[in-house]
Structure 1
Amino acid sequence: MTSAKSSENKQAFINGWKQSKLVRVFLYFILMLVFFLSSYQHLIVSDKNMGENTSEKEINQETPIYSEYSINSLDFLEHIFDKLEQINLDATFTYEEKTEIYKLYFLEEYNKFVEDNIKTMQQSEDSLDAAFIQEIENQLIDQQYDFPVEAFFKLPRLSQAEIIKMSAVAESIVKNLMKEQIKEADIMRGKVAEMVNASNLSDDDSRVLVTEIARFSIFPNYFYDAAATKEALSSTKTTETNYLQVVGLILLVILFVVFLYMYIKQSNLQIRNNNVQLLMLVFIFIINMMGMKIVALGHSLDYPYLGFLAPVALGSMLIAILLDYKLAFISSILFSIFASIIFNFENQMFLFDYRYGIVASVICFTSIFAVHKASQRSSILKAGILITIAACTSITAIFLITNENVISNYIFSLTFALMNGLLTAVFVIGILPFFEAAFGILSPVKLVELSNPNHPLLRKLLTETPGTYHHSVMVANLSEAAAESIGANGLLCRVGSFYHDVGKTKRPNYFIENQVNSENPHDTIDPDLSKSIIISHARDGVEMLKEYKMPKAICDIAEQHHGTTLLKYFYFKAKKQQELTGELEEEVKESDFRYPGPKAQFKEAAIVGLCDCVEAAVRSLSNPKMDQINTMVDKIIKDRLEDQQLNECDLTLKEIDTIAKSLKETLLGIFHSRIEYPELPSRDKKGVTKDEATVSI
């Protein structure tokens, strides 16, 4: 008794947790925390400026602050081409002398340029910090470009026209690249060659020399600022600014979570009242955000557009498969917004980088369309291919719109997009079984796998109990249609029906559908024994299903499809037998002839139970007519309601009425009556009927 009470308390606690409003509020709070932590470091920026030449700096106690100081590369570049034109036009110098001049000139010119700029900084009225000036000088010297020796031998051969044409190309390239924030000049120098190849220069030597001169004219313009870093860490003003930004971020996160909450609340999804599914949704968001954050850590590797590698569609696919595809669309909007925040590396003045947001939304929506109603794991791989195509298309569109002509960036982006689709598909296939096992979720993919006739239990059912197998298939057709008519899980009903009577394989001959041309053994045994054999098939089925590690929902359908219904035939047989024998000392109890239950705890189990009873009853009719079918369905449903077998599931009366209509329509399609053709009139030896003969006379 104590054990039973303890089990009831445990079950009550579990059910209470699943429905608790307090738990639901806590889960939404966790979701807000995930959104906040994912975005926090991307919002906190400092408003401290160092004179007119200092850009807005990121406040992060773990990251040093860099300040901008632009060196006029165009003046340096113009001076180089002026010198080229001057020396090459001077006929007093021989080719060899010009070569030697260039070997010395480039190094001397660079040193002189750096020295002049440092002096200008030191004498500036802006009073730049001495340590900052020293850092600039050190970086300019350390990052000086090593002009290749072979280029010195090509420079003297340039004509004035070639120099002018090269000057225009070099100026355009250097001007565009120096607009970026450059800590490492070599990164920008690596982009020069492709930009030169895209220019109007056709001569190979001109291309090579423009590439080298442009590289030589690119300097770093973003330098570590020790004073600003120290000041930012201790600045009260900065702290106040951070508080305002944190408040703004909190408000934004609250809006996102409220938006998600309102959609779920106004939907008819189970997640609205099911904390288990809500917990799963939170886990999916956490996994997706972590995936984006891990990819974002690779930003220090200086790969352009690394964010396109992030498997943002992972969360959308999981939600579409495990929960609901409409909810997946809503979640995809949030994933896209946070992708544009997390991967906003280049533009610190704005919160969002629209490029990542657009690509993320495209691949998320594509993945949902691809996996919606997916029935095989190969569908997930196909979705990965579609994600790749969608990502590449959207990336190409963005590059064309922004008119970015750096081919290497485009190639990097497409490569990351190709890897994105593959990673997303692999991760979904790998993570899906975890969610199915941990949360007791049966995905459509898993259900379709279980419906394979080659499954050992279904093969056993077919070979040992063909009558039961046929009955199960019929129940599957009925229950799937009925479930879909009320928005329940039709696929779960179908697969559950396949396995609901698998326990009959233990004693197949004791069930009427398997008694082909054989006597009914129940005619010769005691009704108590018959009752025990019949009732045991539900328990035996659950044990077999658990032995094969079948999902809990399938086991529950097998256990609950009879509920606590009464075996009327054997009950009344036992009572009649008692009356005939006159043994009236111990009355036959109705409770002894009921299934042990439990009653159906969810819609799908209740539907399978109704369909099981209806199919068996209608099949017993020799030639079922429409009126008979309607009467039979109504009677069975009425009996179940009066017996309170549907009280513990969440079926409404309106849904039960819809199920009844669906059962009647499906049964009429299965047991339709053949058209009775009128008897043809007899003909004489000539093939003429009597009526025809009369008419001819």
Structure 2
Amino acid sequence: MKKMWRGFTYKSRKLRTVWIPIILPAVVLGVIFFLVTFNNVYTKTYDMERFSTARETIHSPITVVNEQETQRKTREIVQSVEDRYNVSAEITDEQVGYVEEIFDAIDMLEEEASGETGPVPDKEASTVTPPTTREKVLRLKEMLSGEITEVINDGIFYQLVEVDQEIRLKGKELFITALKEVLNSGVRVENLQSAIAEMNQRIKYSALDSSIKEPLNALSEFAVKENSFFDVEKTMEARKQAASRVEPVTIRAGEIIVREGQTITNEVYENLKLVGLLDKDRNIYPVIGLALLIMLVISLIAYEMSLLLKNKALDNGKIAFILLASILVIGIMKVVSLFDTPDGHLYLAVPAAMGVLLAKQLLNERFAIVLSMLYAVLGSIIFNSHIPGSLNMEAGIYFFFTQMAGIIFLINVKDRLAILKAGAGIAAINITVVLLFLFLSFENFAVGEVLSQAGYGIASAFLSAVLTIGLLPFFETGLGILSDAKLLTLANPNQPLLKKILTEAPGTYHHSIMVANLSETACEAIGANGLLARVGAYYHDIGKTVRPHYFIENQLAIKNPHDFITPSQSAEIIISHPYDGADMLKKHKLPKEIIQIAMQHHGTTLLKFFYYKEKESNKIVSEDDFRYPGPRPQTKEAAIICICDSVEAAVRSLKEPTEEKIEEIVASIVTDRMMDGQLNECPITMRELEKIQLTICETLKGIFHSRIQYPLKEAK
């Protein structure tokens, strides 16, 4: 039971340690994000009746297809499709053949009547009696098909037979040509008479002799016949194609449904109902969607904060920065969006890169990249023109690229001018994205529009750089966050504490410079903060200025004061210097990272010289009295300074520092720190220790390399 209780207590304590620095700030940030973006997704609903008057102009919050109106439109289009008919070529050829048969038969009858083909009955007769018209008609009817003679009146035959052959030939050509055109265009029951009338009109206004026109008009009633019949399959296919070409009737997001003062007609009322402006229950869904999005956003932020906490790089100042920077960036977006219009493109002027420029300097590059993505997503919601369910993808893409440009172009964060250089790079990327949008839109645009939007992009980059430079000291000082720019300021030799070391403990100053060089090189070899290690090494022995002559590097041409006091007194003086230094650093308000290095650079190591000296006269001496009280190094930088501090002092004591001796001393000190447990509380690995040992050796070999001994001048 006790074990279970202890386990529960441990888990509760662990949960509290996570809740306070991570979960609570993430929840606060999520609430703020939700409140800022709430009105961008929430749809206002209305309580109105048909035929009432609209009290305000109402826009559609969503894009939706009006199915009922689309069906009505489709029905009208389908009904307007004409019926499809098949023209029978067989009937056309048949009718033309009948007409040709009539004229060919008459021509043959004429040949017989002229005696060219007929027999001569009486050899003695000098002439042949020609047949009468009646006989010709009777003979013609014998020659023609029954389908013709049963329908055509004999009077038509009489008229055709009596017409001159040349006139009849011209009439035949015109009639057949006209007949083919009329029949090929299709003759249906309902337009049969109009087709006959068309034939008659062509005959009437032709240049034919009047003697042929009347029989041809009469012949039209026989020749023109129904040859076009309704085709069900073609008609259905035509209607189907027409229906497929109907564009859906769509109500676009942002489209005006009704203007202020207009009457709410049935159509308007149905549209309001369709887009959900009369249904209060539908309002909850966009809010749920926004809540889920905010949960994803703060989960990513919380995860990145947990990584910082795991690496012991998260403190209250950085938590406050994450909150303030996020609120500032999102707040600026929200304020600008209040004045933006769909065609205004004011989002181009938002200094969105400011947040990630600060984050890269005060946190790290990874966190800055994550924030750039999250700010871009939130920006696409904020600039959605208050249309629920829509995202302004142009704004989101623009915010992403302008922030990534800031992260990429801010290369040398040790130089404040680097921020202005990064601003120039951001401006170039912003202009490129603006041109990208204009060209992809495939619309005509004026030069003034291009210059205006490009100007917004330049203004965004300029404001991002200026605000970053202006806010950086505030976050560094007000929140106690240590940046590279701050470290560079502290590394200035004119800094009062560094001057104090130089003037009061010059040997310690030289020792600190050497430790700084070794520590920075070793930190950079394993990816730690080399600049922090350098500056921390500058100040790590500031406590020695309290009693500088009790430290051997400052004992120049004087006797060693430790020769006149007991080993325990010497140990007390030596052991106090890290904590004296920490008090001095706190008094001068130096960053806590520098203070911690000063306190931890000896860890809980043993003052072996004075311990064994005391043991010579006191056999029951306690080892704890000769150990530094700690704490042990908590960071990689503090651990490296701890090693380099001892290495520099040991190598400096060598009379002839060879490469073998240097490697032996470095290896022994690293092993001793490991065996003594001094590195147990810092996140340093064995592989990193190997790199540190190798780097320190290489650096020391470069410092203590062998020199050519120049010959002395001979005495004259």
TM tier, smaller: 0.5 to 0.7
Instruction: Select the residue among 574, 584, 607 that pairs with 1:534.
Output: 574
State the shift of 1:562 in Å: 1.3
State the shift of 1:485 in Å: 2.8
Relative to structure 2, which stretch is displaced further, 665-674 or 441-450?
A: 665-674
Change in CA separation of 1:181 and 1:21 when aligned onto 2, cut-off 3 Å: closer
Tell me what 2:498 maps to.
458
Change in CA separation of 1:543 and 1:16 when aligned onto 2, cut-off 3 Å: farther
Equivalent residue runs for 1:277-676 within 5 Å:
277=318, 280-299=321-340, 304-345=344-385, 348=387, 351-402=390-441, 403-437=443-477, 439-576=479-616, 578=617, 587-674=620-707
Check the 8 A contact 2:582/2:599 in 1, yes or no: yes
Counterpart amino acid of 1:291?
Answer: I
Question: For 1:545 and 1:273, how far apart are their aligned partners in 2?
Answer: 20
Question: For 1:255 and 1:17, how far apart are their aligned partners in 2?
Answer: 21
Change in CA separation of 1:19 and 1:664 when aligned onto 2, cut-off 3 Å: farther
Change in CA separation of 1:645 and 1:298 when aligned onto 2, cut-off 3 Å: same
- Structure 2: where are the runs of 5+ without partners? 1-9, 63-251, 712-716
Question: For 1:272 and 1:480, how far apart are their aligned partners in 2?
Answer: 20
Question: For 2:378 and 2:396, how far apart are their aligned partners in 1?
Answer: 8
Counterpart amino acid of 1:367?
Answer: G
Question: For 1:291 and 1:388, how far apart are their aligned partners in 2?
Answer: 19
* Percent of residue pairs identical: 40
State the shift of 1:375 in Å: 0.8
Higher relative contact order (CA closer than 8 Å, sequence separation 6+): 2
Question: For 1:296 and 1:285, how far apart are their aligned partners in 2?
Answer: 16
Question: For 2:429 and 2:42, how far apart are their aligned partners in 1?
Answer: 33
State the shift of 1:555 in Å: 1.1
Equivalent residue runs for 1:175-324 within 5 Å:
223=260, 237-258=278-299, 270=310, 274=314, 276=316, 277=318, 280-299=321-340, 304-324=344-364
State the shift of 1:271 in Å: 6.4
Check the 8 A contact 2:357/2:410 in 1, yes or no: yes
**1:463-512 CA distance string (max 9 Å, x none):** 33222112111111111122223332221111100111122223322222
State the shift of 1:618 in Å: 1.3
Relative to structure 2, which stretch is displaced further, 377-386 or 27-36?
A: 27-36
Change in CA separation of 1:272 and 1:642 when aligned onto 2, cut-off 3 Å: closer
Question: For 2:262 and 2:591, how far apart are their aligned partners in 1?
Answer: 60
User: How many residue pairs were aligned?
Assistant: 499
Check the 8 A contact 1:46/1:56 in 2, yes or no: no
Change in CA separation of 1:181 and 1:237 when aligned onto 2, cut-off 3 Å: closer
Question: For 1:384 and 1:550, how far apart are their aligned partners in 2?
Answer: 30
Check the 8 A contact 1:440/1:553 in 2, yes or no: no
Check the 8 A contact 2:41/2:388 in 1, yes or no: no
State the shift of 1:528 in Å: 3.3
Check the 8 A contact 2:276/2:282 in 1, yes or no: no
Check the 8 A contact 1:574/1:588 in 2, yes or no: yes
Check the 8 A contact 2:43/2:277 in 1, yes or no: no
Question: For 2:419 and 2:310, how far apart are their aligned partners in 1?
Answer: 24
Tell me what 1:133 maps to.
none
Check the 8 A contact 1:32/1:253 in 2, yes or no: yes
Tell me what 1:37 maps to.
35
Equivalent residue runs for 1:135-150 within 5 Å:
none
- Select the structure of larger CA radius of gyration: 2
Change in CA separation of 1:389 and 1:222 when aligned onto 2, cut-off 3 Å: farther
Secondary structure at 2:340 match in 1: helix
**1:33-52 CA distance string (max 9 Å, x none):** 4443343322234799999x
Secondary structure at 1:20 match in 2: helix
State the shift of 1:254 in Å: 3.8
Change in CA separation of 1:271 and 1:468 when aligned onto 2, cut-off 3 Å: closer
**1:309-363 CA distance string (max 9 Å, x none):** 2111122112211122133223212222222221233x94872223322322222
Counterpart check, 1:57 vs 2:98: no
Tell me what 1:94 maps to.
none
State the shift of 1:181 in Å: 8.3
Question: For 2:533 and 2:312, how far apart are their aligned partners in 1?
Answer: 22
- Structure 1: where are the runs of 5+ without partners? 1-11, 60-178, 184-219, 680-697
TM-score, scaled relative to structure 1 = 0.63
Counterpart amino acid of 2:465?
Answer: A
Counterpart amino acid of 2:421?
Answer: K
Question: For 1:236 and 1:271, how far apart are their aligned partners in 2?
Answer: 51
Tell me what 1:128 maps to.
none
Relative to structure 2, which stretch is displaced further, 648-657 or 607-616?
A: 648-657
Change in CA separation of 1:180 and 1:352 when aligned onto 2, cut-off 3 Å: closer
State the shift of 1:637 in Å: 2.3
Change in CA separation of 1:607 and 1:551 when aligned onto 2, cut-off 3 Å: same
Change in CA separation of 1:439 and 1:602 when aligned onto 2, cut-off 3 Å: farther
TM-score, scaled relative to structure 2 = 0.61
Question: For 2:516 and 2:446, how far apart are their aligned partners in 1?
Answer: 59
Check the 8 A contact 1:18/1:275 in 2, yes or no: no
Q: RMSD between aligned alpha carbons?
A: 4.1
Check the 8 A contact 2:604/2:630 in 1, yes or no: yes
